[in-house]
Structure 1
Amino acid sequence: MTETLQSVFDLLEPLYQGHPAWPVERDRIAAAVSAAAEARSPTLRALDADRAAHPAWFGAPEMVGYSFYVDRFAGTLAGLRQRLPWLEALGIRLLHPLPMTLGQSEHSDGGFAVADYRAIEPALGSLDDVRALAADLHDRGMALAMDCVLNHTARDHPWAQAALAGDREMRGYYRIFDAADDVAAWERDLDEVFPDTAPGNFTHEPALGGWVWTSFYPFQWDLDWSNPAVFREMLDVLLFWSNIGVDAFRLDSAPYLWKRRGSVSRNLPETHRLVAALRAGLDIAAPGVALLAEAIERTADVLPYIEPQDGTRAAQLAYHNGVMAALWVALATGDAAIVGDLVRDTVLIRPDTAWLTYLRCHDDIIWSALNGRVPADALDRISDFYTGAGGFGDGRRFQARPGAAASTVGMLASLVGTEGPEALGRYRLLLATMLALPGMPMLYMGDEIGLPNHVDPAAPDDARWLHRPPMDWLRADGAEEGEGAGAAWLALTKWLLAVRATLPAFDAKAATKVHGEVPGLLVVSRGSGGDTVVLIANFGAVPQVFPFEGRWQDAIEDRPIERVVAPGTVLWATRCV
């Protein structure tokens, strides 16, 4: 234990050695990790041991995730447990319910303004319901992911309330500034996350006698990670939920943790070190638990969260938002070259890491992830395209940082054309391509039945609620019976997931090679030897010649492949023996 704890302190010492509270906090961190390790149940210890033998367990071909809001999907955690057979039959093996923890009393930014890290929203259930859900999932060979909002708490959080009441220790948990000139000096180097609805990065709080740092909304107070007490508190939160039975944590807003005057205060080396230190703490008490970095940045800025150049073990997963955005670019332009370039440039080396691949999520499509790869004017045209300006999409433009293309909101079905064979064909092209690329795929609630945009007059003033609908169980149940508008979408989704689960080549750690430079045609081989599968996807408007000699079979349709690949066609090609 002493040697492993030293690995945590080796990471933290350069950050905190000059802080007066460090000697005390160092002891508290050691005590928290030791207590969590001692309290871990035999069942979870056995799961840790199994995953130690398969360090990229989340990247197995059958491991497909599903992201959703509990209340909108099933009402409560008890209701969610009743829906597990439906999810299991769909082919889902990892559930990611979006924030379940107690949120801000009014607008909570979709649950990302946390008022209590250790309590569940009462309307959803209780801690015992989470324990029961985790146990149910483990019995089914499934896993549970959970959000941990690292950068900020709600203004309602007891730490913030104590700070407002004058508690000096709790003031030290946040970044609070007394002088307007100081705030202005910091602000000059910072971007704005929500320039339209929450401009600026600081909020004046008279009770504090100054300004508190608020990168997102005014009711989300940024934590001061230069205080070692904040690190200790957040590691303890991860340890707490790990012992409840959570298998993976989505580290929300990870790039924002460390602030440095004169910088944009995102993706700093100190932030990467903090993520690595959280990982090192979990490695002692809950080594089978994975970390997923939510860093919606350029790919070069995401890589240090999962494969730091110094070889440090950090997060095991990160959103491949670059490939996600590139797939939508390919669909809009007919040119798949950017997808191939990104896949070629982001092959991961470590045996315990993988990309999280996806098409849609609860957030917007942020085109700035492709800055430097796609010209800014082209990204702006693509943003317009998905609002129906000359294209088939029915999305909406959303706010973006100054100088960046406006991001896009909308459900997947609405972005590909809502309904009809052409929309379904675009879904097939995107989904089958994404499922074949290296990583762990994550589906978003409702996409599997083609749910369109949802306009909710009662939703907060945030356009992202357009793609946060309640699950339409009448549509889903009808689709399960082969009836209604969602039937073809569900049948296609289930079929592709079922075939994928049988193909070892689609393991996240299987060999990957990008082939060819044919415009519009994406060709990526996965696996090796007799297990090799070649993804061939024609995003272009003209037929292409099948790029390999010999006889080939399509694993999706289980039939021989013809020599011409029609526009919109996607194949999982295997060589006939």
Structure 2
Amino acid sequence: MTPNDMQLKQLNETVLYHLQAIYSDVSPEKPLQQLADEIISIMRLDDTFHEVIPHKNNWDQHDMVLITYGNSVQRQNEAPLKTLHHFLNEHIRDFINSVHILPFFPFCSDDGFAVMDYYEVNEKLGDWKDIEHIAQDYRLMADLVINHGSSSSEWFNNFVKGEGPGHDFFFTAPQNAPVSQVVRPRTSPLLRETETEDGTKYVWCTFSHTQVDFDFRNPDVLKEFINIVRFYLDKGIRIFRLDAVAFLWKRAGSNCLNLPETHEVVRLMRSLIQHAQPDAVIITETNIPNRENLSYFGNANEAHCIYNFSLPPLLVNTMVTGNCTYLKQWLMSMPPAQNGTAYFNFIASHDGIGLRPAEGLLSEAEIASLINTMQHFGGQISWRAGDNGVKKPYEINISLFDALQGTTQGKDDWNIDRFICAHAIMLALEGIPGIYIHSLFATSNDLEKRARTEQNRGINRHEWDYDTLQNKLADPDTQHHKVSSLLKKLIHLRQQQRAFHPNATQFTLHMGEHLFGFWRQSMDRRQSIFCIYNVSDTPQPLRIAELNLVVTDRWWDLISGHIFDESAETVSVAPYQVLWITNG
């Protein structure tokens, strides 16, 4: 037996182990060994098997992800994906190397997250050639909408008919199923009554009634999604965002969230993807409380990256209160990511500022104050069904630029400074930064789209006309030009610092309520950076001696260039000023 045969045999055993854990309480019709063989064949691992280097970091400080819809920038008489590609090459290429294009498939609702056909590109956006061309120039991230599919899909139509591909893909439950404990991000009824050729059935809808949950108890569903993964790899996709994966497995009488089988499916996906494409990455999208979110790292054998969902609400709260206490407490409690895993940091997205990840981190009074402040700045509130159907706030829908236009005391003149300070915190934290396209260009609330679509999330999903945006970015007096220029400078600075590697050492500093700070050290220990931020609207004194700078090193601020010659020096840190003090 050759070494490659031995490794393939070991992978087969690993896949079988995962399947046995997934289906321990289910009795599939076919033997699990046969299923393991079929899965390996689907991924073509018997022909393209790659050895995996344990704990390898497929990223460094140069990596930065732009998050965008396929039609966020549009031009007449041109497919939006082509327009986006042109725009990326003109404005993004020099400082961002990865792009997350939100669902670009045919869909029926939720701006793409109710997928009708996983193998097609929405013809209103373009085609697979457009996707492949972008993937040639950027590391492409795409959504694997794995929990649910569209009620307008061929699969669901076949479910209604009771025959054809996908007819047995969807999760059903008795009308009187015990679902009071089920945790969901929506307030609509969980079960949707559906008339089929086999009579009335009740399909499970964690999100909306146009998004019907898949039944992963059926191994054919698992096989189908593995086939989709293989197809996406062939199209050049290298980062897989597992959308809403925490809800994947259902069990009667439980909360149907983060069940062991769900984690095992993620482990299986990682085993398969990393052997098929060693530089490919899995990111789990789990908008849930912090401790549960962290569990998706597993033992460096589940997600390569997890969304740092607690960062947006904590950071926005910090910036509008001028008090970093909660943010500092959270940062001190965060475990360093093992090599081979990393945090995915973001502070704005296509959805909103999630409040579930703030549970247990912010008090109810603090959350209520944050909600009240955001509503004064034009924000909307989306709700979810909690335990026993109790209605709770789920997320704040608002553009980040407008969210930071003031403090709990109201609007002020520090909008841009506060906005840049927030991003400077994100850019320096342990992890890989992701920046939403509308943050990069300081897009304000789109109240017209919110009213037209009657969807709260529409407020932060503006669609720019290409020429209009070009003109605003070229005008030095606009917020769009000012913010974009400042962010680009910070990103360039970040990429030149070894201490900003996503896995470089990080320690939290203690400098009171108004100065937030942490220390980063490069993996070779040759560079240190003290990252210090005034998160308030008043100047704050900083005694350099408190940083315990090594006296034999030369220290200066990367942003201003100021050199710190004396350890006894005290500097005044202006409102929302950023200091990145380094020794090289």
**TM-score, length basis structure 1:** 0.89
Instruction: Tell me what 1:489 maps to.
Output: 483
Cα deviation for residue 290 of structure 1 reads 0.4
Root-mean-square deviation (CA), in Å? 2.6
Cα deviation for residue 212 of structure 1 reads 0.3
Instruction: Tell me what 2:453 maps to.
Output: 460
For structure 1, which segment, 245-254 or 377-386, has the greater mean C-alpha deviation from structure 2 after superposition?
377-386
Instruction: Tell me what 1:437 maps to.
Output: 429
What do the CA deviations read for 1:223-270 (whole angstroms, capped 9, x no partner)? Answer: 111222211111221111012110101100011001122221111222
Cα deviation for residue 210 of structure 1 reads 2.0
Residue 243 (str. 1) matches residue 219 (str. 2): no
CA distance, structure 2, for counterparts of residue 385 and residue 18 of structure 1: 48
SS at match of 1:446: helix
Q: Quick check: 2:155–2:165 contact (8 Å CA) kept in 1?
A: no
Instruction: Tell me what 1:537 maps to.
Output: 533
For structure 1, which segment, 81-90 or 296-305, has the greater mean C-alpha deviation from structure 2 after superposition?
81-90
What is the 5 A alignment of 1:371-520? 371-388=359-376, 393-401=377-385, 402=390, 404-405=392-393, 407-417=395-405, 422-454=414-446, 455-456=448-449, 459-485=452-478, 486-516=480-510, 518-520=512-514
SS at match of 1:200: coil
What do the CA deviations read for 1:169-195 (whole angstroms, capped 9, x no partner)? Answer: 845322213x4222xx22x11234222
What do the CA deviations read for 1:359-397 (whole angstroms, capped 9, x no partner)? Answer: 110011122211112111220111111111xxxx33222
CA distance, structure 1, for counterparts of residue 472 and residue 56 of structure 2: 36
Instruction: Tell me what 1:121 maps to.
Output: 122
Cα deviation for residue 57 of structure 1 reads 2.4
Q: Quick check: 1:5–1:281 contact (8 Å CA) kept in 2?
A: no
What do the CA deviations read for 1:393-413 (whole angstroms, capped 9, x no partner)? Answer: 332222244453452111111
Q: Which runs of 5+ in 1 are unaligned?
A: none
Task: Assess, with a 3 A threshold, how the Cα gap between structure 1 residues 53 and 174 changes in structure 2: closer, same or farther.
Answer: closer
Residue 556 (str. 1) matches residue 540 (str. 2): no
The structure where helix makes up a greater share of residues is 1
Cα deviation for residue 282 of structure 1 reads 1.2
Cα deviation for residue 125 of structure 1 reads 1.8
Instruction: Tell me what 2:567 maps to.
Output: none
CA distance, structure 2, for counterparts of residue 543 and residue 153 of structure 1: 52
CA distance, structure 2, for counterparts of residue 321 and residue 163 of structure 1: 35
Match for residue 9 of structure 2 among 2, 5, 30: 2
CA distance, structure 2, for counterparts of residue 480 and residue 371 of structure 1: 38
Cα deviation for residue 344 of structure 1 reads 2.3
Cα deviation for residue 555 of structure 1 reads 0.7
What is the 5 A alignment of 1:325-344? 325-344=313-332
Q: Quick check: 1:16–1:22 contact (8 Å CA) kept in 2?
A: no
CA distance, structure 2, for counterparts of residue 433 and residue 423 of structure 1: 16
Cα deviation for residue 145 of structure 1 reads 0.2
Q: Which amino acid aligns with 1:61?
A: Q
For structure 1, which segment, 232-241 or 540-549, has the greater mean C-alpha deviation from structure 2 after superposition?
540-549
Residue 285 (str. 1) matches residue 276 (str. 2): yes
Q: Quick check: 1:114–1:157 contact (8 Å CA) kept in 2?
A: yes
Match for residue 193 of structure 2 among 189, 204, 213: 204
Instruction: Tell me what 1:132 maps to.
Output: 133
SS at match of 1:23: coil
For structure 1, which segment, 522-531 or 498-507, has the greater mean C-alpha deviation from structure 2 after superposition?
522-531
Q: Quick check: 1:37–1:284 contact (8 Å CA) kept in 2?
A: no
Q: Which amino acid aligns with 1:413?
A: F
CA distance, structure 2, for counterparts of residue 67 and residue 280 of structure 1: 26
What do the CA deviations read for 1:462-495 (whole angstroms, capped 9, x no partner)? Answer: 1100100012534542354353412111110111
Residue 317 (str. 1) matches residue 317 (str. 2): no
For structure 1, which segment, 465-474 or 238-247, has the greater mean C-alpha deviation from structure 2 after superposition?
465-474
Task: Assess, with a 3 A threshold, how the Cα gap between structure 1 residues 233 and 459 changes in structure 2: closer, same or farther.
Answer: farther
Q: Quick check: 1:544–1:565 contact (8 Å CA) kept in 2?
A: yes
Q: Which amino acid aligns with 1:193?
A: P
Q: Quick check: 1:397–1:408 contact (8 Å CA) kept in 2?
A: yes
Instruction: Tell me what 2:580 maps to.
Output: 572
Q: Quick check: 1:292–1:318 contact (8 Å CA) kept in 2?
A: yes
SS at match of 1:83: helix
CA distance, structure 2, for counterparts of residue 422 and residue 522 of structure 1: 18
**TM-score, length basis structure 2:** 0.88
CA distance, structure 1, for counterparts of residue 304 and residue 292 of structure 2: 15
Residue 165 (str. 1) matches residue 165 (str. 2): no
Q: Which amino acid aligns with 1:11?
A: H
CA distance, structure 1, for counterparts of residue 46 and residue 114 of structure 2: 29
Cα deviation for residue 39 of structure 1 reads 9.7
Instruction: Tell me what 1:222 maps to.
Output: 213
Q: Quick check: 2:68–2:436 contact (8 Å CA) kept in 1?
A: yes
CA distance, structure 2, for counterparts of residue 242 and residue 169 of structure 1: 23
SS at match of 1:350: coil
Q: Which amino acid aligns with 2:104?
A: M
Q: Quick check: 2:148–2:212 contact (8 Å CA) kept in 1?
A: yes
CA distance, structure 1, for counterparts of residue 419 and residue 127 of structure 2: 37
What is the 5 A alignment of 1:17-36? 17=24, 19-21=26-28, 23=30, 26-36=33-43
Q: Quick check: 2:18–2:265 contact (8 Å CA) kept in 1?
A: yes
Cα deviation for residue 544 of structure 1 reads 3.1
Cα deviation for residue 530 of structure 1 reads 3.6
CA distance, structure 2, for counterparts of residue 204 and residue 284 of structure 1: 42
Residue 356 (str. 1) matches residue 348 (str. 2): no
Task: Assess, with a 3 A threshold, how the Cα gap between structure 1 residues 112 and 406 changes in structure 2: closer, same or farther.
Answer: closer
What do the CA deviations read for 1:321-349 (whole angstroms, capped 9, x no partner)? Answer: 11221101101221112222222222334
Number of residue equivalences: 547
Residue 13 (str. 1) matches residue 20 (str. 2): yes
